[in-house]
Structure 1
Amino acid sequence: MNLLIKGITIADPNSEFNQQTADVRVEQGKISAIEKNLLPLKNEAIFESNGAVLSPGFFDLNCMIGDPGLETKEDIQTGTAAAKAGGFTGLAVLPNTKPVVQSKGEVEYILNRAKNNLVDVFPIGAISHDLEGKELAELFDMKNAGAVAFSDGSKAISDDGFVSRALQYSLGFDGLLMLYPENKSIAGKAQVNESKNNVLLGMKGVPALAEEMQVSRDIFLATYHNAPIHISNISTLGSVALIKKAKKDGVKITCDVAAHQLVFTEDLLNDFDSNYKVKPPLRGKSDQKALLAGLKDGTIDAVSSQHRPHEIEFKDVEFEIAAYGIIALQTVLPLLLQAGLDSNLIAEKLSINPRSILNLTIPKIKKGEVANFVIYNPTKKWEYNATNNASKSSNSPLMGKTLTGKVELVYNNNQFQKYEQ
């Protein structure tokens, strides 16, 4: 579909037009012109920017979609609708479904279900059979079928030898393991951060040590095998320091942080609102400060949504029995803006680096390139509510809140979706 974007500020560190204001023309799915004062053509939709920013389409590294088997939480149609509304043109979806995505059949099912969508959907295969951390899933077959990486989602793998064998095996076909960092024997059944706050709440705390011991183990194994490894959803000051040193030492390690960890802290748990119950738990202000610094100095490669949809009966219950997670695809951008990230850093951490980690094509705002972008207004205020929530679930602490930073248009696969300006 043809589109003319007038007077837009471009935010793409890979573009010669980065941080410049220009008109952008898209014809038959490709960027055909980036110039000043382009005149409209026949049969061309026109978008007036009014202070908006154009960036390569966002990509999420850590998203839960219930299809197959858990479609009452989220299916591919509603998940991609929420993704579009949040500015995402690509999703890497976790294998935590029923059945688990652990063979080429499930990978092919997801790819077929997601065909002809504006949002590109990429399956992540399970590392272990039934996510039990005991027997390798069909990694090679899944890779050949289209899996972009392997993960057991938010389930940590305790068996060090198993992870070692998985790394060694995946090296043979350039497979990437994405590991959740938690030492379960240290974390136990605790559900909130270990600090003075957990004592006040009267609940057992998860020490930062539980995460950092696992990060250390994974760094040792990646070093031993000279294998790439990705750590998902880090949350502590110590994890940032460990990964920073590992990168300096030449370890092939990447990592991401969930957007909510950059804004929310454990203080929000004082009312026992189960919509703030996430895994890893919300940490302290010193952790949050370190995470932001790690994003800015390059230690943390990417931001993820950690989108975890749940039916109401799993969240509208007492805190200690509530499920972990929040829906987040539509609120990542406002949270990053609230955290103080500028448009270039947002493009780097939410568009460029996530695709680079998975060796996917990185869209560029450049003449002749395939059009894959998001337009957002960084100062536009809007209320997140039941009417504009595109997810099938509603477990978000931001529901009913006024947010700043509004996605106004997404374009990919020769399709575009425009939202109210």
Structure 2
Amino acid sequence: MKNVILKQATIIDAESKFHNQKMDIIIENGKISSIDKTAKNPTSLKEIFLENLHVSQGWFDSSVSFGEPGFEDRETIGNGLKVAAKSGFTDVALQPNSYPIIDNQSAISFVNQKANGFSTNLYPIGALTKNSEGNHLAELFDMKNAGAIAFGDYNKAMDKASIQKIALQYVQDFDGLVISFCQEKTLRGNGVVNEGVVSTRLGLKGIPAMAEEIDLIRNLSILEYAGGKMHVPTISTAKSVSLIKEAKKKGLNVTCSVSVHHLSLNETVLEGFDSRFKVAPPLQTESNRKALIKGINDGTIDMITSDHNPIDIEHKKLEFDLAKNGTIGLETAFGMLQKVLSTEVIVEKLVGGKTVFGIEKNSVSVGNMACLSLFDPYTELVFKKENILSKSKNSAFLGQTLKGKVYGIYNNGKLEI
């Protein structure tokens, strides 16, 4: 256990009575033992002085991919968790898109064992269907018992409405959460970018926004009929925001997330045909980007994810049509969000997802376990290749000026800065 005093830390935590106050935080045996204006140090604890230090509840990322098992050349669980810690995340939800797909109890146990002993907690998402092929439900109950916090097929829409219905009904027996990525297959076709003026000018096949919206309408209708809990990841259009808003007003148990890249970039970055900007769903128009920000600020969108997805160079540095979707995003999440949202809103949306996924929250209060993100919201730096901590280098944010710097985390009795 690392016993420390975080000196003169501004606390950003609406659930703490010390919100927006600059305090000394004493952590002993993994717990916050004292919060004071100027703490005495009778036991010679290590004192941590960091410029413009701000502290919040530990951040949670609801969608990361690490590759292992099978794609360790893209990322390993061990290095991925170190990257998450240095990026300010105390908790991450791991997507099942490895090889083999994480679709059974032993696969869940494997990733849990690989994640033991790190400062960042890993929570596996189990595949909703066997091999994420969309034909038969996977071993959901067994995976839940092994530690899966939700079930979904990463970036794959459920073509068969009957399986979507049965999944929502079945998981109610054990309070399970179904993740439903929305993109209607026949409308998506072979599209690689958003359909519109930019796709036409560039001569790239487009995916109409309604591919997401029509699938979302269908899934919300199934949820209304079947009941259960549904999470819609990485929505990207204004219509999707309004559909989620209406569904919540009806009382449906639905939540949603948006990615950092959809909040901070629009489709105009595609002009250079750079495959680093090829993501799923595709980057959208500026009006849709602004609607997503509005959806964050009015509370419709529940959480923000980096949607961190390392891709090896052989599958990314190709012609745009052939390259795989995905960007890494853990290292740049906070610094990019600071350009479009307030620090308090960012913290709220990086912490609030814990409640949806059944992960314990710990406010910055005396007596609570110390689960903290440490950051400076003011320092600016240009993000360069040497700043990348991930094994893969497929960042859509290279060359971007980041507003704010993350120092690291304190979690599981460890200070990682």
**Shorter-normalised TM-score: what interval?**
over 0.9
Deviation (angstroms), 1:375: 1.1
Deviation (angstroms), 1:266: 0.3
Q: What code does the residue aligned with 1:161 have? A: S
Question: Are residue 258 (structure 1) and residue 259 (structure 2) matched?
Answer: yes
Deviation (angstroms), 1:5: 1.3
Partner in structure 1 of residue 126 of structure 2: 125
Structure 2 Cα separation of the partners of residues 125 and 140 of structure 1: 10
Partner in structure 2 of residue 366 of structure 1: 365
Q: Following superposition of structure 1 onto structure 2, how do residues 252-331 of structure 1 map, counting pairs within 5 Å?
A: 252-331=253-332
Deviation sequence 1:394-419 (CA, Å, 0-9, x none): 0013235442211113100000112x
Partner in structure 2 of residue 249 of structure 1: 250
> CA-atom RMSD, angstroms?
1.1
Structure 1 Cα separation of the partners of residues 42 and 189 of structure 2: 63
- Inter-CA distance 386–45: structure 2 relative to 1 (3 Å threshold): farther
Partner in structure 2 of residue 407 of structure 1: 406
Partner in structure 1 of residue 226 of structure 2: 225
SS of 1:382 mapped into structure 2: strand
Partner in structure 1 of residue 346 of structure 2: 346
Structure 2 unaligned spans of 5+ = none
Q: What code does the residue aligned with 2:106 have? A: G
The answer (yes or no) to whether the contact 1:54–1:376 under 8 Å persists in 2 is: yes
Partner in structure 2 of residue 140 of structure 1: 141
Structure 2 Cα separation of the partners of residues 30 and 343 of structure 1: 25
- Inter-CA distance 196–383: structure 2 relative to 1 (3 Å threshold): closer
Structure 2 Cα separation of the partners of residues 200 and 385 of structure 1: 30
Q: How high is the sequence identity, in percent, across the aligned residues?
A: 38
SS of 1:220 mapped into structure 2: helix
Deviation (angstroms), 1:52: 2.5
Q: Following superposition of structure 1 onto structure 2, how do residues 151-166 of structure 1 map, counting pairs within 5 Å?
A: 151-166=152-167
Partner in structure 2 of residue 101 of structure 1: 102
Partner in structure 2 of residue 390 of structure 1: 389
Runs of 4+ in 1 over 4 A off after TM superposition: none
Structure 2 Cα separation of the partners of residues 385 and 412 of structure 1: 28
Q: What number of residue pairs does the alignment pair up?
A: 416
Structure 2 Cα separation of the partners of residues 237 and 343 of structure 1: 23
Q: What code does the residue aligned with 1:241 have? A: S
Structure 2 Cα separation of the partners of residues 77 and 43 of structure 1: 32
- Inter-CA distance 202–143: structure 2 relative to 1 (3 Å threshold): same
Partner in structure 1 of residue 170 of structure 2: 169
Structure 2 Cα separation of the partners of residues 221 and 402 of structure 1: 43
The answer (yes or no) to whether the contact 1:13–1:347 under 8 Å persists in 2 is: no
Question: Are residue 67 (structure 1) and residue 68 (structure 2) matched?
Answer: yes
Structure 1 Cα separation of the partners of residues 287 and 42 of structure 2: 54
Partner in structure 2 of residue 115 of structure 1: 116
The answer (yes or no) to whether the contact 1:2–1:43 under 8 Å persists in 2 is: no
The TM-score, its normalising length taken from structure 1, stands at 0.97
The answer (yes or no) to whether the contact 2:87–2:408 under 8 Å persists in 1 is: no
SS of 1:217 mapped into structure 2: helix
Structure 1 Cα separation of the partners of residues 188 and 43 of structure 2: 62
SS of 1:344 mapped into structure 2: helix
Deviation (angstroms), 1:388: 3.3
SS of 1:242 mapped into structure 2: helix
Worse-matched range after superposition: 134-143 or 68-77: 68-77
The answer (yes or no) to whether the contact 2:87–2:407 under 8 Å persists in 1 is: no
